[in-house]
Amino acid sequence: MGTRAPNCPLLDLAPPSANLLYILVGTASLAACASDWARDRQLYLESMQLRKEFTGSVHDAKSSDPADRERIMSDISASGHLEQVNHAVDVLLRAGMSTPSLRAATSCGSDVRGAARWSLGHILAVFLVFVVIPLVACVLDTSCGGLWRFVPFLMVAEGITWFLIFARRQHDQRSFLSTAGCKFAAAYMAVMVLWFIPAL
């Protein structure tokens, strides 16, 4: 007696081409995340190496040209902003860049490590969850019915709005946006999986 193949009603809602699109974008997101993690690991090691040489004060900084060092230190001392310079260098080593907003965030106790880098994998995850999947649902009309038919259209609008905001943000703000967007996407997918488990 043959065994019956498991049937998933969810997969029947979309044609194979749509499922293939989901797989391709999802795989691209995972591959990009793996690349991001490898890059971040290398940058972290480089940052740690640089921080070993930083005592917390530019007074202890070294220079290949002693005359340049003396001139720079003289300018810093004359400006009266030694603490601000030390803080800016510390933020630079932590975040990979030093901007007014990052320095302000650090002063408030925020962790700005890696703020100079945003993840392509996170961006693709947001694109998949908040643009690709709901857009396919809109085209095929396979999502919520009745009064809830607007949900996928709303999600597409949210996804496009998020990308517009991301494009207009400063570089030091994009890391936060990409991380937050990916977390929202993961939370949404977790809820959807729990919601659809009875249908499996």
| Structure confidence at residue 199 as a pLDDT band (50, 70, 90) | low
Domain ranges of the chain: 53-107, 118-199
Question: Hey, what are 98's tokens?
Answer: 């030093």
pLDDT at 68: 67
Q: Is the pLDDT of residue 192 over 70?
A: yes
- What pLDDT digit, counting tens, does each position of 25-82 carry? 989 988 988 888 887 777 777 666 666 666 556 655 666 666 766 777 776 677 766 7
pLDDT at 161: 94
For 80-113, letters b (16+ CB in 10 Å) and e give eeeeebbbbbbbbbbbbebbeebbebbeeeeebe
44 versus 20: which is more confidently predicted?
20
Q: Is the pLDDT of residue 2 over 60?
A: no
Q: Is the pLDDT of residue 11 over 60?
A: no
Asked whether the beta carbons of 114 and 95 are under 8 A apart, the reply is yes
Q: Is the pLDDT of residue 200 over 60?
A: no
pLDDT at 56: 57
Q: How far apart are CA 182 and CA 177, in angstroms?
A: 8
DSSP-derived secondary structure for 68-103:
HHHHHHHHHHHHT-HHHHHHHHHHHHHHSS--HHHH
pLDDT at 159: 92
Q: How far apart are CA 94 and CA 104, in angstroms?
A: 14
Report CA 84 to chain centroid distance, whole Å: 28
- What pLDDT digit, counting tens, does each position of 96-148 carry? 777 777 787 777 777 777 777 788 888 999 999 999 988 888 888 777 667 77
| Structure confidence at residue 156 as a pLDDT band (50, 70, 90) | very high
Write the CA distances from 53 to 62, 98, 150, integer angstroms: 9, 18, 57
pTM for the full predicted model = 0.67
Specify the range with the lowest mean pLDDT, choosing from 49-63, 145-159, 181-195. Answer: 49-63
Question: Hey, what are 160's tokens?
Answer: 């496009």
Phi, psi of 116 (to 5 degrees): -80, -10
